[in-house]
Amino acid sequence: MTPLSPIKSDLERFLLGWERREAPPPPGVYVAAAGYHGRLVEDYCARYHLIYLVAVYDRDGVCQDLYQCCSAPPPADAPSRCFIFGDVEWREELAEKCRVETYLYKFDNIKEALMRLLEFGMHVRGIPCTDFSIDVLKLTGWCEVDPICCDVSAVKEKIVESAVRRRASQYTSSGGEERIIGAPSGEAAAGSETGGVEDGCEELIRRAAEVLGADVGRLKTCLCR
Amino acid sequence: MSMSLIESLLGECKRREVAEAHLRLCALLLMYSSVPGRGVVYLRTTAYRVPVQKLLEDMAGLTGGDKRGLMQKFMKAVGEAVAELKREVGGVASAENLRRALLRRLLEELRKLA
């Protein structure tokens, strides 16, 4: 459910040329997570229309009536003929509570069709890219444009690495006087004595910690045991 | 972004060096993980005090002083994020709108690190 106030001008600009119907969306595949919370829907519908965008994939040019065409079997290279972006997944009960508008547009290229829905969701509705189906992100090539939308595991490693590097550089710049985490100050001081800056041990430990991705303080504590 | 991924990133924030280096990211992750699945949220900085305290409790080897210092830094980061979010979604926001606004900020932070 997306109870966002519609940004009329953007919406109108975006939907120029789309076929408008005052009807619920036809059958199709939703491209983004569209939950359903009864109370939120009621609140939203009291103020706004529900809007659905339907990209009709018509590579073979068989669609005369775009709306009806969504019920037709999909082309061989697509899971569905129609792809839908909507504020909330359509349910029959919504017909009593909400005024609904469905906008349809014919595309002969599936990538282009999904890209339009992606742009609408992200730029007009402000939906984070990670709310879109991963298949849609991959098919549109969005994973290459903004890799973070598809995989953050690489960033997770970088977060830890940069934190360790930052701590190591702080440790070195303070001449190894920083207190060791998890150890009382006395122990830290003892660690400094066993490997002072003078004999290059601090630098060695820092470099070892960087390579191993370990915490300098902890590594030093372990070596000093 | 799946909740398990958020939890896994938040798990990294339980390391002191990560929390110190990425305060805003960790604060946003903590806030995101506290958003209820539905309903309305009153945006207040103090609402995040207990989650921050819990995070610090899980952080190994912190003295009382360390905890107080880090708590202050965390609450400052949370306060800044709350102020930004209030400007965007208002002081009383639907959980879904807040979740999305937080997610957009989280992605921005992650992009900086990528």
* pLDDT, tens only, B5-61: 788 889 999 999 999 999 999 999 999 999 988 788 999 999 999 999 999 998 988
Please check whether residues A20 and A48 belong to one and the same domain: yes
Structure tokens at A205: 């430990």
End residue of a domain, out of A129, A146, A163: A146
Please check whether residues A123 and A177 belong to one and the same domain: no
Please check whether residues A127 and A21 belong to one and the same domain: yes
Please check whether residues A210 and A176 belong to one and the same domain: yes
In a domain, A161, yes or no: yes
Query: What is the count of structural domains for chain B?
Result: 1
Domain hosting residue A106, numbered range: 8-146
In a domain, A25, yes or no: yes
Chain A residue closest in CA terms to B9: A156
Q: Is the pLDDT of residue A42 over 60?
A: yes
Range with the lowest mean pLDDT among A88-97, B29-38, B75-84, B104-113? A88-97
Provide the shortest C-alpha distance from residue B55 to chain A (in Å). 16
In a domain, A160, yes or no: yes
- Percent of chain A whose pLDDT exceeds 70: 69
B10/B26 Cα distance (integer angstroms): 7
The residue among A57, A63, A65, A60 whose CA lies nearest residue A19 is A65
Please check whether residues A15 and A126 belong to one and the same domain: yes
Q: Is the pLDDT of residue A22 over 90?
A: yes
Q: Is the pLDDT of residue A214 over 80?
A: no
Q: In terms of pLDDT, which residue wins out, A143 or A222?
A: A143
Domain hosting residue B47, numbered range: 3-113
Residues 6+ apart with CB under 8 A from B105: B28, B81, B84
A204/A197 Cα distance (integer angstroms): 10
Q: Do A40 and B97 touch (CB under 8 A)?
A: no
A159 in B contact zone (CB under 8 Å)? yes
Reported in sequence order, the residue ranges of chain A that DSSP labels E, i.e. its strands, are 19-21, 29-30, 50-57, 82-86, 100-107
Provide the shortest C-alpha distance from residue A4 to chain B (in Å). 7
In a domain, A24, yes or no: yes
Q: Do B61 and A152 touch (CB under 8 A)?
A: no
Please check whether residues A126 and A183 belong to one and the same domain: no
Q: Strand B40-42 and strand A29-30: pairing?
A: unpaired
- Sequence letter at residue A113: A
Distance of CA B68 to the CA centre of its chain: 17
Residues 6+ apart with CB under 8 A from A2: A34, A87, A88, A125, A127, B96, B97, B100
pLDDT band at A201 (very low <50, low <70, confident <90, very high): low
Contacts of range B50-58, beta carbons closer than 8 Å, 24 or more positions apart: B52/B27, B52/B78, B55/B10, B55/B13, B55/B14, B55/B19, B55/B26, B55/B30, B58/B14
Please check whether residues A12 and A45 belong to one and the same domain: yes
Please check whether residues A59 and A170 belong to one and the same domain: no
Query: What is the count of structural domains for chain A?
Result: 2
- Percent of chain A whose pLDDT exceeds 90: 31
Please check whether residues A100 and A185 belong to one and the same domain: no
Q: Do B107 and A148 touch (CB under 8 A)?
A: yes
DSSP classification of residue A183: S
Please check whether residues A42 and A141 belong to one and the same domain: yes
As a whole number, the mean pLDDT across chain A is 78
What DSSP assignment string belongs to A11-75?
Answer: HHHHTTTPEEESS---S-EESB-----HHHHHHHHHHS-EEEEEEEE-TT---SSHHHHTTSPPP
Interfacial A residues in 68-97 facing B (CB < 8 Å):
none
Hey, CA dihedral for A94, A96, A98, A100, is it positive or negative? positive
Please check whether residues A121 and A173 belong to one and the same domain: no
- Segment B57-75 shows an average pLDDT of 91
- Segment B71-89 shows an average pLDDT of 95
pTM over 0.95: no
In a domain, A177, yes or no: yes
In a domain, A1, yes or no: no
A96/A89 Cα distance (integer angstroms): 15
End residue of a domain, out of A146, A176, A200: A146
Interfacial B residues in 91-110 facing A (CB < 8 Å):
94, 96-97, 100, 103-104, 107, 110
End residue of a domain, out of A146, A163, A188: A146
In a domain, A3, yes or no: no
In a domain, A167, yes or no: yes
pLDDT band at A187 (very low <50, low <70, confident <90, very high): very low
Q: Is the pLDDT of residue A136 over 60?
A: yes
Please check whether residues A40 and A121 belong to one and the same domain: yes
ipTM field = 0.79
Strand partners, B93: B41
